[in-house]
Chains A and B, each alone.
Chain A
């Protein structure tokens, strides 16, 4: 049984999440140390997104505990966890559809945590030059500068994924959870996204990455955790994971050929 070590950025201790009789997470313990990209892989339905939802407070775990930067975040409100420094993207795209690209990112900046209601009411947007400059900078990083006045709903899928990333970056998080950031993307778009994630991780936040595209995962991650049926079946470096018998059996056996 693992304990929550203080030097871990994120740790899960014996986390179980039950939906009725189905255990989406089954006594799962894992730790994410600071820096770089950590991969989270596993077949469909193995509990990856459920783990992200538990970390970000969307579903609180049935039992067990979650710790972020030395703090117990189990069952805390989602927005509080976000304010502590965890940002995420969503597999099924949750951009603010009827807001512009620029406003999506602008609104994600640390609005609720460092501003009172009155400041929020009177911070008329045009007066916030430094904040706007930061938004421009982020949009440039993800390559959406040209699209900044388009409505989010009008973007093609690849750009919406990059917008989600931009919005998460605007939070200046310590831990960035990416849920299939290259899902549904063309090979070229996937490469661009992989580079982007690499650069992001170089620049600051620890990245915890769910992805089905194994080439990308193996290239980016320094450490990989493999789930199956809500349990951790293996973890280690890409090499270790690839050669792991349990992983091959559960998952990589079929996927490795494509990678």
Chain B
């Protein structure tokens, strides 16, 4: 059972990561830097709980703030770059962060050796990141008797909270403005929208969300190293969005779920796992360029649900490309 709790927790973390990519994706920015923000959130929050004894909630928030600040510092100079150049700049950022956490060492001596005669006692554990050895003993969850089941439940609630944020965002003027920037920057400016501001904002929010995921991940695994936060991971996060569908916030959820579950289910295929994966990705890209869940699908589903709740609707929900007009009108 604990295994499945861990899988659920990982699905939640990956969903949050997928949304962190999606946040800037909404403004047409493809970020490959999320692993860097993920790492910053992980190391910052784990430092606060493990070294300074903070509660996990403020520690996670600080992790998010740290990631957002770094996100702003990255976004302001680089978002002037267009398309591929920006993406490459964010990749470089991941590598920089990885190397920093690979080499950094700070913290304090641990004090939990109870049996002085044991081998552990002679080698006091180091609390804090320890260069290439990584940050071990992030034992907040065991210290505070939070079971894997409870942790998974909190994560599910958090996913719902982020889901609500994106649900509101997509229906708000702000989300609308972001979409306009994605569609055409010059036209968006022409209607008075600051594309720089919107892109930087969306990017910083995405960084903060990745920071939250980093904290959750560090406390779940209890052991992180700089090398965990590498470029394959960052590509994977982008794949959640691209495969699941980047037009609505539902797509990234599906992408994250598939990518977390599939390897678990396909464990039997052993070494062919990654090959299967690649084939699945290729197939999706060939047959569904806009990802598995498109905006049209979501719109049609919404119309159908509305029709189901409000009784018979006069307009057929299956009209191609033309969902029922706003039912509050006329």
Name A's B-contacting residues (CB within 8 A): 56-58, 77-79, 82-83, 87-88, 90, 94-99, 103, 106-108, 110-113, 115, 117, 119-126, 132, 136, 148-151, 154, 167-168, 170-171
Instruction: Provide the main secondary structure of the chain B interface.
Output: helix
CA distance A94 to B172 in the complex (A): 22
Q: How many A-B residue pairs have CB under 8 A?
A: 114
Would you call A123 and B172 a contact (CB within 8 A)? yes
CA distance A108 to B201 in the complex (A): 20
Q: Which residues of A contact B326 (CB under 8 A)?
A: 126, 132
Would you call B192 and A171 a contact (CB within 8 A)? yes
Would you call A96 and B192 a contact (CB within 8 A)? no
Interface centre among A58, A97, A149 (most CB of B within 10 A): A149
Q: Mark B152-181, 1 if CB is under 8 A from A, else 0.
A: 000000000000000011011110110110
Given contacts A94-B187, A120-B174, A150-B322, 5 further A-B contacts (CB under 8 A): A79-B193, A94-B190, A103-B176, A115-B173, A123-B172
Would you call B176 and A113 a contact (CB within 8 A)? no
**Interface flag for B321 (CB, 8 Å):** yes
Q: Which residues of A contact B189 (CB under 8 A)?
A: 57-58, 77-79, 82
Q: How far is the CB of A192 from chain B (nearest CB, A)?
A: 23
**Interface flag for B186 (CB, 8 Å):** yes
**Interface flag for B183 (CB, 8 Å):** yes
CA distance A122 to B176 in the complex (A): 12
Name B's A-contacting residues (CB within 8 A): 168-169, 171-174, 176-177, 179-180, 183-184, 186-195, 201, 247, 295, 321-323, 325-326, 328-329
Q: Which residues of A contact B173 (CB under 8 A)?
A: 107, 111, 115, 119-121, 123, 125
Q: How far is the CB of A136 from chain B (nearest CB, A)?
A: 8
Closest 3 CB pairs of A and B: A78-B189, A94-B187, A120-B174
Indicate which residue in A56, A123, A125, A149 contacts B190 across the interface (CB closer than 8 Å).
A56
Q: How far is the CB of A159 from chain B (nearest CB, A)?
A: 14
Q: How far is the CB of B165 from chain A (nearest CB, A)?
A: 9
CA distance A97 to B143 in the complex (A): 54
Interface centre among A83, A112, A122 (most CB of B within 10 A): A112
Would you call B186 and A94 a contact (CB within 8 A)? yes
Would you call B191 and A107 a contact (CB within 8 A)? yes
Instruction: Check A97/B190 contact, CB under 8 A, given A112-B177, A124-B171.
Output: no
CA distance A148 to B321 in the complex (A): 11
Q: How far is the CB of B75 from chain A (nearest CB, A)?
A: 16
Write the chain A residue with the least CB distance to B171.
A124
Q: How far is the CB of B36 from chain A (nearest CB, A)?
A: 25
CA distance A97 to B187 in the complex (A): 11
Would you call B321 and A151 a contact (CB within 8 A)? yes
CA distance A103 to B178 in the complex (A): 13
Interface centre among B176, B179, B186, B321 (most CB of A within 10 A): B176
Q: How far is the CB of A117 from chain B (nearest CB, A)?
A: 7
Would you call A90 and B177 a contact (CB within 8 A)? no
Interface centre among B192, B295, B321, B328 (most CB of A within 10 A): B192
CA distance A96 to B193 in the complex (A): 13
Q: Which residues of A contact B172 (CB under 8 A)?
A: 120-125
Q: Which residues of A contact B176 (CB under 8 A)?
A: 99, 103, 106-107, 111, 125
Would you call B171 and A87 a contact (CB within 8 A)? no
Would you call A167 and B325 a contact (CB within 8 A)? no
Would you call B169 and A121 a contact (CB within 8 A)? yes
Would you call B295 and A98 a contact (CB within 8 A)? yes
CA distance A148 to B180 in the complex (A): 17
Indicate which residue in A58, A82, A107, A126 contacts B171 across the interface (CB closer than 8 Å).
A126
Would you call A79 and B171 a contact (CB within 8 A)? no
Interface centre among A90, A111, A171 (most CB of B within 10 A): A111
CA distance A117 to B173 in the complex (A): 9
Q: How far is the CB of B300 from chain A (nearest CB, A)?
A: 12
CA distance A82 to B329 in the complex (A): 31
CA distance A95 to B295 in the complex (A): 18
